[in-house]
């Protein structure tokens, strides 16, 4: 029972990271793809949207890692070994992205310097979520095998498959859509920028449909356990809810109901991740490592649940207050745009 509680908290943390940190990565993608006479203003809008909270959003990734190595140490060890290459590349991308974002803000104001840091920030924003998607895809392929005592496959198992690569591309598209949708709300006081982000949200949201279909059909041969999970009795219900949220988000964007579009996009991303995890349950690494056979001793799990409860008392009010200060109380019109 305790391992199921921790697994549920792990899923919630993963969803929150996608909704917050994933949107930040999407912002970096649109930063790199900014063009035209409003390119600098688009970048300023992105800076304003993610600047105050981007570091705090990584708390959910840290929580995911802590829950894994404390609650499911055998699975964590196997993941870190088998996926050492993509995970290392992902961490390098996180470091480069954060450094570039900070240096762009506080380095010399020369245009050439600004462009240099912007390029690194944008490349890292593409690079990092791509490998995050690859890692999630690799865990479901069934090609990473773990024996009684040790990993039995090499460093390239799972993550080099077409299915895992498709998952990486899907993560990029999903975060780009989520970010553009958020930015339509954050730029409400600048209608021309709002229209720019609306168009980006519409076409990136539409692009998700063929990519999602490719991921699904690729899973039949490349990740059969995941395909079997996605075709269980409950899958059509979850798929219907996901499609409903997706249609609602695109419809709201089309009719310029941006606040509703953001809510629908959040629901869409949540349903995607819930469906993904339910299809894989109870596996952490398909098919050998589950939440049951890789769980830590009961005493450790009990202390972990207690620590999570106490930590939530401090963490959640602090994060809510942070968002209130920078997202609720402060309006976009306070920012200074550069024409």
Please name each of the domains of the chain with its CATH number.
2-334 (1.20.1630.10)
Q: Which residue in 308, 294, 259 sits closest to 68, CA to CA?
A: 294
What is the number of alpha carbons within 13 Å of residue 47 lying toward its C-beta? Answer: 22
pLDDT at 329: 54
CA distances from 45 to 28, 48, 51, 122 (A): 11, 5, 10, 15
Q: Are 65 and 21 in contact (CB under 8 A)?
A: no
Q: Which residue has the tokens 């944008």?
A: 122
Taking the complete model, does pTM exceed 0.75, yes or no?
yes
Q: Is the pLDDT of residue 130 over 80?
A: yes
Q: Which residues on adjacent β-strands are paired with residue 289?
A: 285
The 10s digit of each residue's pLDDT in 157-183 is: 999 999 999 999 999 999 999 999 999
Q: Which residue in 216, 211, 186 sits closest to 198, CA to CA?
A: 186
Q: Are 253 and 183 in contact (CB under 8 A)?
A: no
d(CA 115, CA 293): 50
pLDDT at 143: 93
Q: Are 279 and 230 in contact (CB under 8 A)?
A: yes
For all residues of the chain together, what is the average pLDDT? 89
The 10s digit of each residue's pLDDT in 266-320 is: 999 999 999 999 999 999 999 999 999 999 999 999 999 999 999 888 888 888 8
């Amino acid at each position: 029972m305790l391992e199921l509680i921790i697994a549920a908290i792990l899923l919630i943390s993963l969803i929150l990271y996608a909704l917050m940190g994933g949107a930040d990565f999407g912002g970096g993608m649109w930063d790199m793809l900014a063009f035209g006479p409003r390119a600098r203003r688009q970048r300023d809008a992105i800076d304003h949207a993610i600047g105050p909270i981007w570091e705090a959003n990584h708390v959910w990734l840290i929580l995911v890692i802590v829950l894994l190595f404390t609650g499911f140490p055998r699975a964590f060890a196997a993941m870190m070994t088998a996926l050492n290459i993509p995970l290392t590349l992902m961490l390098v991308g996180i470091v480069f992205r954060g450094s570039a974002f900070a240096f762009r803000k506080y380095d010399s104001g020369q245009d050439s310097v600004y462009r240099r840091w912007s390029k690194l920030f944008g490349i890292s924003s593409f690079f990092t979520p791509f490998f995050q998607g690859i890692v999630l895809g690799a865990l479901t392929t069934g090609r990473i095998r773990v024996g009684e005592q040790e990993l039995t496959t090499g460093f390239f198992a799972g993550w080099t498959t077409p299915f895992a690569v498709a998952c990486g591309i899907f993560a990029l598209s999903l975060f780009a859509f989520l970010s553009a949708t958020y930015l339509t709300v954050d730029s409400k006081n600048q209608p021309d920028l709002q229209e720019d982000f609306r168009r980006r949200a519409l076409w990136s949201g539409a692009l998700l449909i063929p990519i999602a279909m490719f991921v699904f059909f690729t899973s039949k041969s490349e990740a059969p356990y995941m395909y079997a999970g996605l075709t269980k009795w409950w899958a059509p219900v979850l798929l219907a809810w996901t499609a409903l949220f997706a249609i609602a988000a695109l419809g709201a964007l089309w009719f310029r109901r941006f606040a509703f579009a953001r809510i629908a996009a959040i629901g869409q991303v949540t349903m995607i991740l819930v469906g993904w995890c339910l299809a894989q349950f109870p596996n952490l690494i398909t098919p050998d490592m589950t939440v049951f056979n890789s769980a830590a001793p009961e005493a450790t799990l009990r202390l972990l649940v207690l620590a999570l409860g106490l930590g939530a008392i401090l963490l959640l009010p602090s994060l809510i207050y942070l968002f209130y200060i920078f997202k609720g109380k402060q309006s976009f019109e306070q920012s200074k745009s550069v024409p």
